[in-house]
Chain A
Amino acid sequence: MNMQVAIPIQYFLVVSTFMFFTGIYGFLSRRNLITILMSIELILNSVNINFIVFNRYLYPNQLEGHFFTIFIIAVAASEAAVAITLIINIYRRFSNINVENVDKMKY
């Protein structure tokens, strides 16, 4: 099966760029730590789309983008796990998770 599907690559790239910069906006404007983490997930996800699309369109016979997307998903999962344990610990200590209230890094 060798069917062609005529969707230009730029369409995918514009969608992923939009997602990336909404993530940037959320990262800069939010103050709750969990919403900041959600913005980071958006950014990572848009990068994944880029890897996949470049793999499919420009190098269809190799699988570099595919495998690096798998690795990025694994890194994102472990990053989310560690970040959420840190956030819960911060909540235990300060009773809220707004970034401006967490300015003491003392042990």
Chain B
Amino acid sequence: MDLSAITGYHVMFAIFSAIIIVFSVLTVTSRKILRAATFLLFVLIATAGLYFLLHFQFLAAVQLTLYAGGIVVLIIFSILLTSHISQKFEPIKPQKTIFTALAALAGFVLVTTTILQNKFNADYFIIKEVDMKTIGKSLLNYGDNGYVLPFEVISVLLLAAMIAAIVIAKKRNKSNV
């Protein structure tokens, strides 16, 4: 690729993917758990950046509020409830590290070679906005390109998860345990 063809999109893509690669490795290798959660937050924000790059604004906003704002805060709260902040994990046995790293690396090489050999015929994407009206209409549409069934199923799932979380976390009486 010659240098004149590089646009802002390429630069932003390079920045976001660099953040994703560096911080996802740090998330799984950091020995302080609160730091690992913070690195996970960076990965999720960079993913939202990729969604913005692909012009899915609504999805990027959902990613930012739900993942970065919700799940990471939940994880950090549970870290504060269950471990000491300054505590460090014991180092993993080198043998275990090597074998898991080999397994992950083998999978990565396999999938990457498959991706690079496949001819997608997709070297560019066309910018097309997805407006809120389309999203709302599709979510409640039961005809073609309608998603009312998974929408209803997900609402039942959320209710079930909420009830389950309350029931499990509730303090039991001593006689019941």
Contact = CB atoms under 8 A, between A and B. Distances in A.
Interface of A: 1-15, 17-26, 28-32, 34-35, 37-39, 41-42, 45, 48-49, 52-53, 56-58, 60, 62-63, 66-71, 73-82, 84-89, 91, 96-97
Given A10-B115, A19-B43, A5 B104 contact: no
Contact of A56 (B5, B54, B116, B150): B54
Contacts of A12: 50
Nearest to A45: B47
Interface of B: 5, 7, 9-10, 13, 17, 20-21, 24-25, 27-29, 33, 36-37, 40, 43-44, 47, 50-51, 54-56, 59, 62-63, 66-67, 70-71, 74-75, 77-79, 81-83, 89, 92, 96-97, 100-101, 103-105, 107-108, 111-112, 115-116, 120, 122-130, 134-135, 138-139, 145, 147, 150, 154, 157-158, 160-162, 164-165, 168-169
A7 B40 contact: no
A84 B78 contact: yes
A80 B75 contact: yes
Given A87-B82, A88-B82, A49 B50 contact: yes
16 contacts: A9-B125, A19-B21, A25-B100, A28-B103, A29-B97, A31-B92, A34-B79, A41-B75, A42-B24, A56-B54, A63-B138, A66-B59, A67-B139, A80-B74, A88-B82, A89-B168
A66 B25 CA distance: 27
B56 A52 contact: yes
A6 B44 CA distance: 24
A21 B107 CA distance: 7
Most buried by B among A26, A49, A62: A26
Contact of B104 (A22, A30, A31, A67): A22
